[in-house]
Amino acid sequence: MCIAVALLLLPCASLMHHYHIAAATMRIAGASSDTSEHKVVDSLLEKEVKEGFMIRPFQPPPFPLFGISTIRIAASKYTASSVPSVAPITFFDEDTITQPEDVQLSRGAALPPGFQGRRRERGELTVQKSGLLKENILKQVSLTPSQDGRVHFGDVVMLLNVAGPASECSVISINADIDGLTKDAEPVIRAPCQVSAGGSVRACTRTAFIITSVDGSPAGSALHYEQSFTLRTTRGFAGELCLASDLQSFYKCAKKSRLQEVSLHGDPSFLSWWKVVHFDPQQRLEHEGLPVPADFKVLIIHRKTNQALAVLHDQVLWTPFGREYEVTAHTFLDSHRAEQGNNHWAFSTSEPAAEEPAPRDGPRQAAGAAEPPQPGSAP
């Protein structure tokens, strides 16, 4: 038998001076030290308590889960004094520490009996959290079909880009992991959350965004070129987060490219304001103020920084959902000062067919809908 001490570091008000250590003493079976040395252990603990580095042992366990390190006494190599030797830490919980029998320590058993089962009952295992995340974030969502060929406030859409290698489609997606969920009874995605461009073009909670007005425009009214709006995730598990960006800095930028970061934030602000402009610079002025057509190639510009939303197909991100690409706010111009395909997006109101991927260079006219507005005509 030997004396063991449960040590848990608790930072005090002044980290520059020392740490308080909560200690609870118990007997551990299976250690090599002899109980005749418990007086040495007690004197060492008393010295630490006196100097303020530890607080005295608690009778009941002060925390539900804590670490235990076995203290062994060894003779000093150069002096006749005894020095403590601490074994690797072993985790215990309150149910184990209060058992009357001694706790057996071994190299192959680092967790107490039943600990894994209790975590499984509470849904705290990593495999359970991963399954919960994928079950909710990949849940199918119905997009809002366009009856007049236009995009409206309140529509549920996907942001689609087809400028990838070999016309590969990619859609802006929520890049969340199990650490980005709240610990509520019904967990939701916690802000801030990263985004990426995935190759899975399927309408689900992860890829659906709601076009939201910021100027009081009623739901159902058409979105116009140069009009401010926000892109918000769906209600429920997605948390109604807003797509936002801010000026690039040394501390806040995209992880791979170091360009301007794009992420999801909880509170709507000017950082989450965007506008739509025509993809062709020569027709941009003529289309200002006209309704934005659905499934049509456009540019999405950040209001504060005037940078265009972009996907970088040369910056690969490995996410829990596979191989994806980085999304930033940066305007890529060609030799003619026109935006490149990285900045071309479409508000997709339906999952594109394999033989006809969106976006297109011209607006799609819905069956029975009126002729789309032309430049110079009244909206």
Q: Cis peptide before 187, with omega less than 30 degrees from 0? A: no
Among residues 232, 226, 137, which one has the least CA distance to residue 176?
Answer: 137
- Per-residue pLDDT for 2 more than 80? no
pLDDT at 189: 92
Q: Give the per-residue pLDDT at 41.
A: 72
Q: How many Å separate Cα 175 from the centre of its chain?
A: 6
Confidence of residue 363 (pLDDT cuts 50, 70, 90): low
Would you tell me how many other CB atoms lie within 10 Å of the CB of residue 82? 15
pLDDT digits (tens, 9 = 90+) for 142-152: 999 988 899 99
Task: Look at residue 38 in the predicted model and tell me its pLDDT.
Answer: 67
- CA-based nearest residue to 351, from 202, 177, 181, 172: 202
pLDDT in tens, 250-282: 889 999 999 999 999 998 999 999 999 999 999
**∠ CA(334), CA(196), CA(347), 5° rounding?**
70
pLDDT digits (tens, 9 = 90+) for 107-122: 444 455 566 677 777 7
Distance CA 193, CA 210 (A): 17
Model confidence over 164-211: pLDDT tens digits? 676 678 999 999 988 888 888 788 999 899 999 988 888 999 999 999
Cα–Cα distance for residue pair 66/47, rounded to 1 Å? 23
Taking only the tens place, the pLDDT of each residue in 280-304 is: 999 999 999 999 999 999 999 999 9
Which of the following CATH numbers is that of domain 137-348: 3.40.50.2300, 3.30.390.30, 2.80.10.50, 3.40.50.300?
2.80.10.50
CB-count burial class (<10 Å; 0-12, 13-18, 19+) for 337: exposed
Neighbours of 132 (CB within 10 A): 15
CA 159-328-358 angle, to 5 degrees, is 25
The whole-angstrom distance between residue 44's C-alpha and the CA centroid of its chain comes to 45
| Minimum mean pLDDT range among 47-51, 75-79, 171-175 | 75-79
Q: Is 0.95 surpassed by the pTM of this model?
A: no
Residue 143 to residues 1, 298, 354, 364, Cα–Cα distance (Å): 67, 19, 18, 16
Q: How many CB atoms lie within 10 A of CB 44?
A: 16
With bands split at pLDDT 50, 70 and 90, how would you rate the model's confidence at 128?
A: confident
Q: With beta carbons less than 8 A apart as the criterion, state whether 173 and 360 touch.
A: no
Q: Which residues contact 269 (CB under 8 A, 6 or more apart)?
A: 242, 244
82 and 37 in contact (C-beta within 8 Å)?
yes
Reduce the DSSP state of residue 97 to 3 states and report it.
Answer: helix
Among residues 162, 27, 184, 2, which one has the least CA distance to residue 101? 27
Q: How far apart are CA 193 and CA 177, in angstroms?
A: 9
Residue-wise pLDDT for 311-321, tens only, equals 999 999 998 88
Domain definitions of the chain by residue range? 2-122, 137-348
Least confident of 239-248, 339-348, 351-360: 351-360
Contact residues for 294 (Cβ-Cβ < 8 A; gap 6+):
146, 149, 150, 151, 157, 346, 347, 348, 349, 363, 364
pLDDT class of 36 with cuts at 50, 70, 90 = low
Percent of the chain, pLDDT > 90? 42
CA dist., res. 273 & res. 304, Å (int): 8
